[in-house]
Chains A and B, each alone.
Chain A
Amino acid sequence: MIRAMRILASNPLSLVGLLLVLLITFAAIFAPWLAPFPTHNGAVIDFAFANKGPSARNWMGTDLVGRDIFSRILYAYQISLMLGIVVLAIATPVGTAIGLIAGYVGGWTGSILMRIVDVFLSIPPLVLAIAMMGVLEPTLTNAMLAVTVMWWPWYARLVYSIARSEREEGYVLAAEVIGAGTMHIAFREILPNCLPAIITKMTLDMGFVIIIASSLSFLGLGVQPPTADLGSMVAEGARYLPDSWWLTVFPGLAILVAVFGFNLLGDGLRDILGVDE
């Protein structure tokens, strides 16, 4: 732990990433208290202040119906983070379990599992999500479902390739000779050696999930108005560029900060977890 802190401290960029991630999490959790206009997350109309640039009252300006953009960004982070966490909380275990079994057991079982994975990987992710959303109702739950379906195969691939190489290690042979069960070897012996890569990928993926979710909202397929979402905010404002620049620039920056933060942290974690103590 102390060593991890030292490495983090000696790598300023990953420290920046950690701070950004903490900041965003803090903002999302305490949005109701931090937001100057908590009610602006919903259907509020205040034409007196509609489409105004940044000012002392509205730091990031207001949108077309007069809602405070800063407040809406704080609330939008709630959605983004929740989406990322839910997607990864489902996709990671599913993908990991499939990849582990395919990688360790190998043979026919492994081939069949990995061909299924390949089918999912061969469809462009956004297209798959859009197709799913076309069939299903465009709600937040369905958006999460769509992103999850396109996400787990990547974990299966990652874990599969690690498990394949770990399988050749002496400790796996030792466990086999002792007579330990397949599940014990896969989940108790091999899985711990995959965890650093999985955790690193999860951190990096938080950023990507946020982008994909925003893209879906941008296309009108994700979170529905009046709920605040970074992607739909950018989409709505895009028509009013460059005059009402604050409508797009601040939500856009918010996406950038989140993605950037998770990526920097992910890179740092890769350095820390990559080396064996």
Chain B
Amino acid sequence: MTSLLDIQNLKLNFKTVQGQVEVLHGIDININAGEKVALVGESGSGKSVTARIILGLLQELRQARISGEVYFDGRDINTMKPKDCAKLRGTAMSMIFQDPTSSLNPVITIGQQFTEVLRRRNNKLAQAICDEQATRMLNDVAIPDAQRVLNAYPFQLSGGMNQRVMIAMALANRPKLLLADEPGTALDVSVQAQTLTLMRELVNDYQTAVLLISHNLGVVREFADRVYVIYQGRIVEDGPTSALFANPKHAYTQALMNAVPRIVGTGLAKVPEVSDAFLAPRITHSDVT
């Protein structure tokens, strides 16, 4: 099977006042068409910059030095012209952010924002068709009174509603890849759980591949087919979700897994201080389970 996203030996250097800082030390990530993959790590591990590189946003930054290959649909994003890369965003790949309410434009109605999104793919699309597609998308994310929502501004809707709108917009152009950066972390737990279920069902229907970026192991386990664990700019462990969660092999993954408080009340784990074992080489679980 050819992969939709193929990242090879990706390195990222930042030029700061103090000098060069290497943020990513050569990471490899592979996502097949329609596959749900999670990149899990702590803050500062490099998971969010990875998403920005895939979107081609960091390449334009003067202080960033990027090497390695990021093949998306057979083309290397790292060597692509910024203009071509911008064309991909919102069409072939799209993104969902942490806080839905602040990522929607507050002064434009949901309906107009939908039209803008849909016209990114086809700028001659008639208003009536845009509205019809938007309505259908909103129905897909379980918003029954689509007309009211289309006429509303983001601040008139609840956080959970805005999150669904975000998902609908992100999927409106049937992208091949959806990047979800800590989706719903800003929302209440119950709302977060609902939207996650919804998102999983939709991407399954649409055959959209997803890269879920998260620090929450529970969310990752419930959403992804395959998991990459990232620590300090290195992938330390990867494999099918069930195998990795049943038998974490890398010291860092084990520590992470141990540290998650359990609702069965097994007490608070004693977490080791940063240890050299965390920097041990990458462990890959075989795809055959």
Interface residues of A (CB under 8 A from B): 3, 6-7, 10
For B17, list chain A residues within 8 Å (CB): 3, 6-7, 10
A140 to B17, CA, bound (A): 46
A201 to B82, CA, bound (A): 38
Show 4 residue pairs from A and B whose CB-CB distance is below 8 angstroms, ordered by the A residue. Answer: A3-B17, A6-B17, A7-B17, A10-B17
A250 to B219, CA, bound (A): 71
Minimum C-beta distance from A60 to chain B (A): 42
Which B residue sits closest to A7, measured CB to CB?
B17
Interface residues of B (CB under 8 A from A): 17
Which B residue sits closest to A6, measured CB to CB?
B17
A3 to B18, CA, bound (A): 9
Q: Which 3 residue pairs across A and B have the least CB separation, nearest first?
A: A6-B17, A3-B17, A7-B17
A7 to B17, CA, bound (A): 8
Which A residue sits closest to B17, measured CB to CB?
A6
A76 to B17, CA, bound (A): 41
For A6, list chain B residues within 8 Å (CB): 17
For A3, list chain B residues within 8 Å (CB): 17
Which B residue sits closest to A10, measured CB to CB?
B17
A10 to B63, CA, bound (A): 14
A3 to B17, CA, bound (A): 8
A10 to B17, CA, bound (A): 10
Minimum C-beta distance from B16 to chain A (A): 11
Minimum C-beta distance from B19 to chain A (A): 11
A209 to B17, CA, bound (A): 35
A263 to B17, CA, bound (A): 24
A6 to B16, CA, bound (A): 11
A6 to B17, CA, bound (A): 8
Minimum C-beta distance from A91 to chain B (A): 34
Minimum C-beta distance from A47 to chain B (A): 60
Minimum C-beta distance from A4 to chain B (A): 11
A7 to B16, CA, bound (A): 11
A30 to B17, CA, bound (A): 37
A6 to B15, CA, bound (A): 14
Minimum C-beta distance from B18 to chain A (A): 9
Minimum C-beta distance from A99 to chain B (A): 28
Minimum C-beta distance from B115 to chain A (A): 35
Minimum C-beta distance from A274 to chain B (A): 14
A6 to B19, CA, bound (A): 12
For A10, list chain B residues within 8 Å (CB): 17
Minimum C-beta distance from B62 to chain A (A): 12
Which B residue sits closest to A3, measured CB to CB?
B17
A7 to B18, CA, bound (A): 11
Minimum C-beta distance from B63 to chain A (A): 12
Which B residue sits closest to A2, measured CB to CB?
B17
